[in-house]
A and B are shown apart, each in its own frame.
Chain A
C-alpha cells in the first residue's frame, strides 16, 4: 500500500508530505544558524576589540558572491515556474544556471577568499573574528555544496521522473527550491554581519 499525500495535498492541511517535511527541516536549520549567530553576538559583545570586517575581508568579492547567490535564487524559482508551464527544456536551462552560479560562489569562496587567507597565515586559530568567520561561512558553504549536488541531480538523472510523474517532480523541484532560497537567505544575513560591520 502506498503512503498517502506524497503527491496530492491533504485536504484539511492543504499540503503534501514533502512540503511539511522541508519546512520542518528549515525550521531546525533556523535554530542551527540561530545558535551560531547568538555565538557571534555573545563573543562580539564580550570582546574588548573587534576588527571591522572590511579590514580583513574583501567587500567586492563578497558583493560579487552575494549577487551570484541572489541570481541563482531567481533562476531556481524560474526553473520551477518553467515546470509549471510544462516546459522541460526551459527548466533545464534555468536549473543549469542555478547550480552553475552555486559553483561559481563556491569556487570564488575557496580560491579567492579562503586560500589567500591561509597564504597570509590568517587561520581560524588566529583570532575570534576569523574563527567565527570560517565557521559560519564554512558551514554555509557546506549547505551550498549540498544544494548544488541536489540541483545537479534534478537537472540530470532526477529529471527522468518528469516523464512518469510530472506533478511529483514539480513538487520535488519546489522543495529543493525552498532549501536553496533558505541558503540564499542565510547568506543575505551573513554578508553584512561579517563583511560590513
Chain B
C-alpha cells in the first residue's frame, strides 16, 4: 500500500465509507420512528450498528489486511466480550425464585 496509486484508491474508499456511514446513520434514526416491537427494534438497531462498526474497523482501521497476531488477539477478545455479556446474562436470569412481574 505504499505506492501513490494504491493510496489514492484507498482515499476513494474512505470517502465512500463515509457516505455509507452517513446514510446508515439516517436509516437507523428513521427506523427508530417505525412502530415495531422492542425486540425487532433492538435487532434492527444492533444489525445496523454492527454493519457501521465493521465498516470502520475493516476500512478505517485496516483490519481487512492486518497481520495474524492482530486477528488472533481480536478473536480472543471478541470471544471473551461475548462470554462477559451473555454468560453473565444467562446466569442472572437463571436465578432460583426470580420474579418477573
A-to-B contact residues, CB < 8 Å? 13-15, 19-20, 23-24, 27, 30-31, 34-35, 37-38, 41-42, 45-46, 48, 54, 59, 63, 66-67, 70-71, 73-74, 76-78, 81, 84-85, 177-178, 181-182, 184-185, 188-189, 191-193, 195-197
- Please report which residues of chain B, range 37-54, place their CB below 8 angstroms from some CB of chain A when the two chains form the complex: 38, 41-42, 45-46, 48-49, 52-53
The answer to whether residues A188 and B49 also contact, given A30-B81, A42-B89, A78-B11 and a CB cut-off of 8 A, is yes
Tell me the complex Cα distance, A67–B49, Å: 14
Looking at B61, B68, B73, B88, the one whose CB has the most chain A CB atoms below 10 A away is B61
Q: How many residues of B contact A (CB 8 A)?
A: 48
C-alpha spacing A61/B92, complex, angstroms: 35
Asked whether A196 lies within 8 Å of B84 as measured between CB atoms, the reply is no
In the complex, the answer to whether A42 meets B73 with C-beta atoms within 8 Å is no
Question: Chain B: which residue is nearest A41 at the CB level?
Answer: B89
List, in ascending order, chain B residues with CB within 8 A of A35's CB.
Answer: 84
Cα–Cα, bound, A186→B22 (Å) = 16
Q: Is the CB of B29 within 8 A of A178?
A: no
Nearest CB in chain A: distance from B12 CB, A:
11
User: How many whole Å from B18's CB to the nearest CB in chain A?
Assistant: 4
25 A-B pairs, CB-CB below 8 angstroms? A13-B67, A15-B70, A20-B69, A23-B69, A23-B73, A27-B74, A27-B77, A34-B80, A34-B84, A35-B84, A41-B85, A41-B89, A42-B89, A45-B89, A76-B60, A84-B7, A85-B7, A178-B61, A181-B56, A181-B61, A184-B56, A185-B57, A196-B28, A196-B29, A196-B45
Question: Min CB distance, A151 to chain B, in Å?
Answer: 15
Main secondary structure of the interface of B (DSSP, over half): helix
